[in-house]
Amino acid sequence: MSTPETLDPLAFRAFELLRKTNQVLVTAESCTAGLIAATLARVPGMSTVLAGGFVVYQIESKVAWMNISPAVIEQHGVVSSEVAQLMADAALRNTIHATIAISITGHLGPDAPVDLDGIAWLGFAQRNYPCCSHKLHLQTTIPDPTSKPFTDSEQRLFIRHERQQDAVRQSLSFLCKKLESFHEC
Residue 83 lies in a domain: yes
Residue 44 lies in a domain: yes
Hey, which bits of the chain come out as E strands?
25-29, 50-55, 100-106, 119-126, 132-137
- Chain Cα centroid distance, residue 8: 16
How many domains, the chain? 1
Strand duo 119-126 + 100-106: pairing? antiparallel
Residue 114 lies in a domain: yes
Neighbour-count burial of 105, counting CB atoms closer than 10 A to its CB (0-12 exposed, 13-18 middle, 19+ buried): buried
Per-residue confidence band for 184, with pLDDT thresholds at 50, 70 and 90 = very low
Give residue 71's pLDDT. 98
Rg (CA), the chain: 16
Instruction: Tell me if 106 sits within 8 A of 121, measured CB to CB.
Output: yes
Boundaries of domain holding 163: 4-180
Residue 185 lies in a domain: no
Residue 31 lies in a domain: yes
Mean pLDDT score of the chain? 92
Q: For residues 40 and 31, what is the distance between their CA atoms, to the nearest angstrom?
A: 17
Tell me the pLDDT tens digit for each residue of 70-127.
999 999 999 999 999 999 999 999 999 999 999 999 999 888 888 899 999 999 999 9
Q: Indicate the SS3 state at residue 42.
A: coil
